[in-house]
Amino acid sequence: MEKIRKKTARICILGMGRVGLPLATVICSRGYRVTGYDTSAERVNSIIEGKNLNGEPKLEILLSKAINSGMLDVTSKLDDTQKYEIYIVAVPTPIQNGKANLNHLKTALKTIGTMLDGRELVVVESTIPPGTSRNLIARMLREKDLVIGQNIFYAYAPERILPGKMIEELTTCNRVLGCFDKTSALLATEFYRRITSGEVDITTPETAEIVKLIENTYRDVNIALANVIARICSYFKVDPMEAIRIANKHPRVNILKPGIGVGGPCLTKDPIILYSQVKDYGYESPLIIEARNVNNEMSSYAASQIDMAIKKYFNGEPLKIAVLGLSYKGGIGDTANSPAVRIAEQLKNMGYHVESYDPYLPEAGSCRSIEECVKGSCCIVIGADHPEFSNLDLEMLRKLTSYEKPILYDGRYIFRPTKVLKAGFIYVAPGYIKA
């Protein structure tokens, strides 16, 4: 406790990916020395060189300061003779055969198991199924003669960060800590209150594990509802965004925005972890799995919409399509489970000539500029809601297409239909078309 308060506690973070790296830089900015460990030497080198930061605002600045000041050491070879007071596990837990694959977590625990000698605080930030802290982590520690609350301390502290706002949310968001005992809770709370200005809730490990999963499941189900509404609206020629906007004026309604589907490393995974874990107990939730199916199908639905619109207005010729934005969400450079990438591939398989551009992923797209991508296209697809796209000069884009009335497929609903129509486009969006 004294070392946490005086900021002399040495911290080791295992996993320098989407969560571990920004977390390490924030902790360093709070005055703690951190060793960041990752099994990938390639990733370690790219971090040291300041590369592959997914366009995350402020991360490059914090990383540069942390490394140059000597507060952050990033390595792929962990020195097991080094003494740390706090170990934070931030490794991925991907889906495999419909369940969470905990191999990375087990490896990380085995790695630190050789370094623990008692009195350390072990924190897991990785997303894990309910019961993992009690049935796996506590058991693995006991194999090292370490008993939580007696000679080792433990907290489950699931990350709560939104790509594009990671640094901001790491330093301001509320945190939940799942602890078995009072001392672990006191130590973890003391530490995390120095990281975030948000509230810190203390609960059981099982509650914290479920909290993390239901947060993303809620969003997935809500987005699925919005997508279902959009498809229902299509049969009555109703603008889904207009219907949702008015419905949300009701004091107890908050429907999210429809779109071409859900991507990213978490939102596509966490509902499946929750669903599969409780299924082992004999309960299946059709709501969760149906929401996943709805959102997964949206990319195919979007490709079908685009194909039908082109056939209707351009006689189905094998024409050029421009996809603007390949990231799974706006403002970042990450294609993890991106529906825009899936749409581009599906359109290619339909025989269209597809070009792509993303300002956050210059190497991923086939074009180096919007102008190059759009030129000669009969259809422009908005695949990611990047801030830069909402201010596009639509009249200029229409002229670049060389078509009198090309199609703009607003896959992220970033434009008002009237604005698109005024610029001379046919407006198409998930569940809506206006010529």
- Among 12, 212, 233, 379, the one annotated catalytic: 212
- Spatial distance between the Cα atoms of 346 and 228, rounded to a whole number of angstroms: 21
Tokens of 30: 């709070």
Taking the CA of residue 134 as centre, how many other CA atoms within 13 Å lie in the half-sphere pointing to its CB? 12
Q: Which residues pair with 74 in a beta bridge?
A: 36
**How far apart are the C-alpha atoms of 139 and 147, rounded to whole Å?**
9
Q: What is the DSSP string of 263-327?
A: -SSSTTTHHHHHHHHHHTTT---HHHHHHHHHHHHHHHHHHHHHHHHHHHHHTT---EEEEE--S
Among residues 123, 140, 126, which one has the least CA distance to residue 180? Answer: 123
Catalytic option among 266, 367, 378, 379: 266
3-state SS class at 128: coil
CA distances from 99 to 103, 280, 290 (A): 12, 10, 17
362-369: long-range pairs with CB below 8 Å, 24+: 364/326, 364/335, 365/326
Q: Which residue has the tokens 């790509």?
A: 163
The residue type found at 97 is: N
Say whether 266 is catalytic: yes
Residue 157 CA to residue 164 CA, distance in Å, equals 21
HSE-CB of 160 using CA atoms within 13 angstroms:
23
- Give the closest residue to 323 by CA, choosing from 364, 279, 270: 364
CA angle 11, 12, 17 (to 5 degrees): 125
φ, ψ dihedrals at 396, nearest 5°: -65, -40
Tokens (6 digits) for 68: 């140059």
Q: Give 374's DSSP letter.
A: H
| Residues assigned a catalytic role | 212, 266
